[in-house]
Amino acid sequence: MNKLKKLFGYGIGDFGLNIYWKTISLYLVYWYTIVVGLDPRIAGILFFIGMTWDAISDPIIASLSERVTSRFGTYRPFLLYGSIFLGLAFTLLFWVPPFSGSVLIAYLIFACIIFRSAYTIVAIPYAAMASRLTYNSIERSDYSGARMFCAFLGLLMVSMFLPPLVEAFTQKTGSEQKAFQHAAGLGAIIATLAILLCFILTKEQPLPPKTVQSNKVWAGIIKNIRANKSLRILLYLLVFNTIAGASLNLTLVFFIDANQGVFASKEAVLTAYAICTLIFVPVWTFLVHRYGRKKIWALLVGIYTLAAIHMAIFSSLTVYGIPIQIIIFGACGGGFSIIIWAFIPDCVEFGQMDSGYRSEAGVFGSVLVTQKLSGAMTGLLIGFLLAAFGVSEATGTFVVSSEKLTLFLAVFPALLLIFTLIPITLLPLERHTHSDIVTKLQNKDITNG
């Protein structure tokens, strides 16, 4: 029961964070385009700016948080003091002021940067905290599984409740813009409580004795990448996986809208997508625990690719209006996330053994820079892609068939995931190797050479 409490305590934090993250992943470009009425290319640029700002600020916050010492630990204080600010910034993100033209765009950029900064202050320490909860590679897979289960529980909440909430608030206020802000405010309250609960229920482990930590930000990240072979390979893997996942998430709501009359309602499709993803998280966690991360990664790529081939040849297969291939994509996405976030903290000890110093900021900072820049470029691509596929700022609707979007979703992400089989094969992050390294770090004087 104590272990379950620890797993729940850490996981519930990502439930809160994913109320924010899944909302912006699924709806932000849609909100900019359909609700605010921006050209989709402008929406893509706004998304690009936000993610690029993330890439700049993430390693700075990672480095600063790594040096904190307090009675609450190193990373936990950021959950306590940053959660309320994050909730307010999220509500601000979905407010449309009475401006137009360039002034409106300037405000939206400002709100985006404020939210991204607030999210970074909480999410980066939360992610880095995984390296302090335990130093056991197998236990880290369990924590990653608990985290992903709660993360996709956040996805389920967004998918199930956001569309009907927006509809209900629209009827009450007479404005879809105000409805989104009210729904965002309610989501912020729930997310804040979840993050505070994570603070209460988690406990960080002390660093191994005689640990030497890096005290640099960007120079430390570059040095860490050069010295850490496992991290370099993981970053290649992350680029392909991030672009594949973002391509699906950013176009999913548009894809559902483009298939009105064929698919069930938006909330029904998204809820089925979230439920299936959630159900398979413990399945993937069990399989990873038993067979290892690399074998299950290859299995996931195979399942995803088969579903993509079927979709490319036969278009969407629906059962009661639910596109089955999209559901499979979501289920596989949960498995990819579990494995990646189990690999990342292991890179800390691999790098410490290779370089002689421990740099949690270097590992998590480089991972997050890679992830955010990959996501930024994908957002920019999707904005221009949607414009080419027929989303108009004048009508806010599709004026072409969904065939191009279907082909894109079937082919592009699957090809990228196939490419991940190369770095996953070369990745030296094996359980027994990591266990040996942790033992050496705990028993020997590892100094900074």
| Overall average pLDDT of the 199-205 stretch | 91
- Rounded CA gap, 238 and 374, in Å? 9
Residue 260 has pLDDT above 70, yes or no: yes
- Rounded CA gap, 54 and 269, in Å? 30
Query: What contacts 102, CB < 8 A, 6 or more positions away?
Result: none
pLDDT digits (tens, 9 = 90+) for 376-417: 999 999 888 888 877 655 444 545 457 888 899 999 999 999
Residue 212 has pLDDT above 70, yes or no: no
pLDDT digits (tens, 9 = 90+) for 301-332: 999 999 999 999 998 899 999 999 999 999 99
CA distances from 246 to 56, 111, 351, 378 (A): 19, 21, 28, 7
Residue, of 317 and 214, whose pLDDT is higher: 317
**pLDDT class for 127, splitting at 50, 70, 90?**
confident
| Overall average pLDDT of the 415-441 stretch | 81
| Overall average pLDDT of the 257-263 stretch | 85
| Overall average pLDDT of the 47-60 stretch | 87
| Per-residue pLDDT, 445 | 46
Torsion of CA 383, 385, 388, 393, to 10 degrees: -20
Query: What contacts 7, CB < 8 A, 6 or more positions away?
Result: 142, 143, 145, 146
- As a residue count, the chain comes to 449
CA atoms within 13 A on the CB side of 376: 18
Instruction: Report which DSSP code applies to 75.
Output: S
Q: Which two tokens stand for residue 424?
A: 């996953």
**pLDDT class for 239, splitting at 50, 70, 90?**
very high
**pLDDT class for 213, splitting at 50, 70, 90?**
low
Entry pTM? 0.80
pLDDT digits (tens, 9 = 90+) for 386-396: 888 776 554 44
Domain spans of the chain, in order of start: 2-202+214-442
Residue 84 has pLDDT above 50, yes or no: yes
| Per-residue pLDDT, 447 | 41
| Per-residue pLDDT, 392 | 58
Residue 448 has pLDDT above 70, yes or no: no
- Tell me the average pLDDT of the chain: 86
- Please state which of the four CATH numbers 3.40.50.300, 1.20.1250.20, 1.10.238.10, 1.10.3210.50 is assigned to the domain occupying 2-202+214-442: 1.20.1250.20
The count of other CB atoms within 10 Å of the CB of residue 394 is 8
| Per-residue pLDDT, 348 | 78
Query: What contacts 280, CB < 8 A, 6 or more positions away?
Result: 331, 334, 335
* Residue 118 and residue 324 in contact, taking contact as beta carbons nearer than 8 Å: no
